[in-house]
Amino acid sequence: MTKVRALVLERQHELALRDIEMPLEVGPGEVKIAIHTVGVCGSDVHYYTHGKIGPFVVNAPMVLGHEAAGTVTEIGEGVTHLKVGDRVCMEPGIPDPNSRASRLGMYNVDPAVRFWATPPIHGVLTPEVVHPANYTFKLPDNVSFAEGAMVEPFAVGMQAAYKASIKPGDTAVVLGAGPIGTMVAIAALAGGCARVIVADLAQPKLDIAAQYQGVIPVNIREKNIVEEVARLTDGWGADVVFECSGSPHAWKTIMDLPRPGGTIVVVGLPVEPVAVDIAGASTKELRIENVFRYAHQYDRAIALFASGKVDLKPLISETFAFEDSIAAFDRAVEARPSDVKLQIRVAQ
C-alpha cells in the first residue's frame, strides 16, 4: 500500500482532500495510470449527499470518482496492447471473468463486479491508480483527456441505444435532459435515429441538448409531451422511448408515447417502486428493455469520438483544479440547470 493524496468521502456530507493508503503495486495484466481528468458523476454526488445508493452504503472512508482518463506510466507482465506513454481511459467496473454473467457477455450485471467509487471500492480522484489492462482503452490522438473522461457516461447512452435496437430513420423520445438523458439522445442520433424529442422541465438543459442537430426540445412546463409526440408523429407514436428522468411521474403516461410494437428503454432509476400500466404495454405489444451501466461499449464510443460523429465537448460546463475538488462537488450539489458535466483536472 502507498500513501497518496485523494478526494475522500469520510462520511455523508463530509469530504476531505487528504492522504490515504491505496494499492499501487502493478501485477500481471495490469497497468499503472497517471490520472489526468475525472468527471463528477451524479452517483458520486449522491454518495456525498445521502451516504448510500440502494444497498451500497458508505461505511468507511472512500475515494470518489470513476469517469477518468490519464497516461500509462507502468506496464505489468503480459500486457501487450498498451505501452508507457499511451493516453487512455478506463472502464471502472471489473467483473469476475469466470462468472456466469461474464461468460454470457453480460459482465455489467455480474453480482461480483468491483466498480470504482462504489462501496467499499475506492475511486480514482487521486494522482495514480492501478487497473486491469483489459479494461483500459487507448485514446486516439485527436481525442482529448477531457473527452476521454466523457467515455464512461456516454457508454451508458451507447448501451441504451444498443438495447433499443434502433433502425435507421427512427423517431425517439428521451424523458429527462440531464447529463445521461442528453448523452442518450446523442447516442440515439449516432445509432440511426432521424430525430430525438427531448423532454424536460428545465429550459437551460433543453437549450444545451438542442445544440445537436436532430434534437427537438419540449419544455413540459409549457407543453403536454403526449400531445407533442402525437403531433410530431401524426398520431402514430415514437419508435423508441428512453426514460432517463428517474421520475415516478414519467410512468403515468409513458405507455402513450411509443407506437404500437415500439420500445421503452429504462435508464433512469426511481428511488421507490413505481406503478406500471401493464395493460397499456400489452395492448400495444411494447418491448421494455433495461439498462444497468454498460457492456462492450467503450471501443464503439471512442470510435465515434475519433470519427467526429460525436462531439461531447459542448457538454463540459467547467473544469476544476484537483485542489478545488471539494468546491467542484459543492457546485455539483447545487444542480445548476445550465451545468451538464463538471470535471476535475488531477494532473498538474
Please give the pLDDT value at position 1: 87
Q: Does domain 156-290 match CATH 3.40.50.720?
A: yes
Query: Which tens digits make up the pLDDT trace of 229-241?
Result: 999 999 999 999 9
Q: With left for phi above 0 and alpha for psi between -120 and 50, is residue 51 left, alpha or beta? A: left
The predicted-structure confidence for 148-195, as pLDDT tens digits, reads as follows 999 999 999 999 999 999 999 999 999 999 999 999 999 999 999 999
Strand-pairing partners, residue 56, are 53
Pairing between strand 2-11 and 14-22? antiparallel
CATH class of 2-138+312-345: alpha beta
CA distance 193 to 188: 6
pLDDT in tens, 7-18: 999 999 999 999
Domain spans, the chain: 2-138+312-345, 156-290
Task: Give bridge partners of residue 96 from the DSSP assignment.
Answer: none
Asked which of 42-46, 52-56, 204-208, 246-250 is least confident by mean pLDDT, the reply is 52-56
Query: What are the tens digits of pLDDT across the range 123-138?
Result: 999 999 999 999 999 9
Per-residue pLDDT for 344 more than 90? yes
Q: Which amino acid would we find at residue 245?
A: S
Contact criterion met (CB below 8 Å) for 149 and 69: yes
Residue 115 has pLDDT above 80, yes or no: yes
CB hemisphere CA count around 74 (13 angstroms): 13
pLDDT tens string 66-100: 999 999 999 999 999 999 999 999 999 999 999 99
Please give the radius of gyration of the chain, using alpha carbons only, rounded to the nearest integer: 20
pTM higher than 0.75 for the full model? yes
